[in-house]
Every structure is written in structure tokens, then in C-alpha cells.
Amino acid sequence: MNELTQGYDWLPVVFIVLMGISFLVYAILDGYDLGVGVLLPFGDERSGNLNQNQRDKMIYSIGPFWDANETWLVLAIGLLLIAFPKAHSIIFQALYLPTALMLAGLILRGVSFDFRTKAPSTEKHKWDLAFKFGSLLATLSQGYMLGRFVTGFDDGIIGISFAILASICVTAGYCFVGSAWLVMKTEGELQKRAAKWATYSNIFMMLGIISVCIANLMMDVVLMDKWLGFPQVFILVPITMLFAFTFVSVHLYLKRVPLTDDIACWYPFMSAIIMFTVCFCGLAYSFYPYVVPNQMTIFEAASSRESLKVIFYGAVIVLPMIIGYTIFAYKVFSGKTSKLNY
């Protein structure tokens, strides 16, 4: 056992858990506002799409949150850089182009969001289109990055094809959580439209999850044994039952939207949280203790003992602050969406 793993094995584990939680919270929180952006329709009311007031309501629903949601991505990348610098170098060297595209999409979203509030009403649809394109670029890039990471940055046709499949699946997942957010935050015709979006995207998301799981198991013998060997194969039983129950129950609920008094309008969004969490836990189980799949463990990639201790004390101070203002913001702007004033 080398010096790195003597006496403080818990520190790399703590930081990989914190990093995983940060990515999960980002996927849920920024996932829904990315999904809302992707769902913004083309065209105008005459072509059968939502009118401008309803599009504004979609933007209002994410207005108080979308910028703060990205804090979790900054935190996750910061933890990767400081706690696992060797892995950071490998990962972002392999993902340089999709990372640049993702950042371009996020920047375009930010510019579009601010400019649309000041643009004349006749020009708003152009910034809506820019916001939609930026959201789509960001979601596809994130899915592609996830697919490349899972395959260990395989540059072959199989690895690239898997990454493209992952980009489509992640986009479908973001559309589902985004439409579930709209079901919870809106009323009337927009809520009914959001329920339809959620129904379709839920189906595509589940098909995508199944396809990705099968493809990933077929590509990695070690991973197949980790999931399908005995007795760990029994882990799949409760996971499958949970997914099946969540999928069927939310599907049945969405067909009945809106219910009397809008009862349980939060359920689709809660279902999305459950499915996202199970998927992330599955990824963690599949690749632990590797931070770069099949190349580098968390112990090999970790910073020095002194650095990890300093980062740990900083995380103890900073993380509760981030959690606190996130909870505060969602409490202040809870309930149905109302018009934002600037």
C-alpha cells in the first residue's frame, strides 16, 4: 500500500461521493431548465404552436433558478480539478471539443435569456429560437461526453456510436424532467401540453436507458459480470421493479392531467428525480473505484494528503452555503409560475 492510501482512504472516497452528488443535482436542476429550453416550440401561434404568452410562461418558470442551477456543475468540475487533477487532465483532454460546444450552448442560453426580456415583442421569437438551440447544443454535448466517458474514450466506431446514442438519451431525459417541471409549475393549456411532452419523452427516455444498459453490458465483459454475476444479479430485481412502477404510474398520471385541484402535480417531477438518481447510482456501482473507467482509480488520481485536507475543510464551509441558498430560492419561488419583473 503506497503513501497515498495509508490512513486517509476515506478522503478520496468522500470527494468522489461529493463530486457524484454534484453531478446528480446538476443533472436534475439544470436538466429541467435545459429541457424547458429544448421544448420551446418553433414557429408561431398560427402554425399550431404555443402563443407568446405561453412561451413567456415557460421561460418564467425557470427564470429564478436556471443561473444558480449551473453552480452545481462548477462545483463538480472544481472538485474534479482540485481533488483528482490527474483524472481531470485525461478526461478534458479527451473531451475538449464537446466541452467547448457545451460551453458555447450555455453561453448562448444566457445571452438569449437576457436579451429576450428587452427585445420588442415582434423579435422575441428569434431569441426563443436561440435559447432553444443553445439548450439543445448543451444537452447533446453533455450526453455525448457521458457516452465517451462510459466507454473509456474509445475512438472506434462502436464507442462513437454509443456516445451518439447517449447524447440522444440524455436529451430525452432532460426533456422529460423539463416537461415534468412544467406540469408542476403551470396551469391550463400549457400544463396539458407539458403533460403530452412528458408522456412522449418518458417513453423515449426509458427506451434509451434500456438500450444504453444493454449496449454497455455487451461492450464490457467485466461490467457484465459485475451486474449479472451471482449473487449481484439480484440487485437488478428491485431496480427493475422500481423503474417499472415509476414509469407506469407516471404514465397513467400524465394521461389524467389536469386533476381536480391539480392534486399531486409534483409527482412527475419526483418520478424524474427517482429515475435520475437510480441511473447515477448504477453508474457509480459500475465504475467504482475508477474515476477514469478502466484506466485510473480515485486513489491513483487523488491529490496529496495535505491538499485533500484543505479542500475538505473548504467543502465543509462552502457546500452547506450552496445547499442553503438553493433551498431558500426554491422556497421563495415555490408554487405556480407568475410573471417575472425586471
> How far is Cα 261 from Cα 97, in angstroms, rounded to an integer?
48
pTM: 0.90
- Grid coordinates given for 158: 462502436
Residue 8 clears pLDDT 60, i.e. is over it: no
Of 299, 124, 268, residue with least CA distance to 191:
268
Q: Residue 220: its pLDDT value, please?
A: 80
Higher confidence at residue 7 or residue 85? 85
Peptide bond into 289 cis (omega under 30): yes
CB contact at 8 A, 194 and 209: no
In three-state form (DSSP H/G/I as H, E/B as E, the rest C), the secondary structure along 24-69 is: HHHHHHHHHHHHHHHHCCCCCHHHCCCCHHHHHHHHHHHCCCHHHH
* pLDDT tens column, 277-334: 999 998 999 898 899 988 899 999 998 888 888 888 888 888 899 899 899 989 988 8
* pLDDT tens column, 149-193: 988 898 889 889 999 999 999 999 999 999 999 999 998 889 999
- Grid coordinates given for 282: 448504477
* pLDDT tens column, 96-109: 999 999 999 999 99
* pLDDT tens column, 259-268: 877 888 999 9
Kindly give, in sequence order, each residue whose CB lies less than 8 Å from that of residue 262, ignoring residues fewer than 6 positions away. 187
Longest dimension (CA), the chain: 70
DSSP string computed for 269-306: HHHHHHHHHHHHHHHHHHHTTEEETTTEEHHHH---HH
* Local confidence band at 146 (pLDDT 50, 70, 90 cut-offs): very high
* pLDDT tens column, 10-66: 889 999 999 999 999 999 999 999 999 999 887 655 545 677 788 889 999 998 888
> How far is Cα 44 from Cα 58, in angstroms, rounded to an integer?
15
Question: Helices (H), strands (E): how many in the chain?
Answer: 14, 2
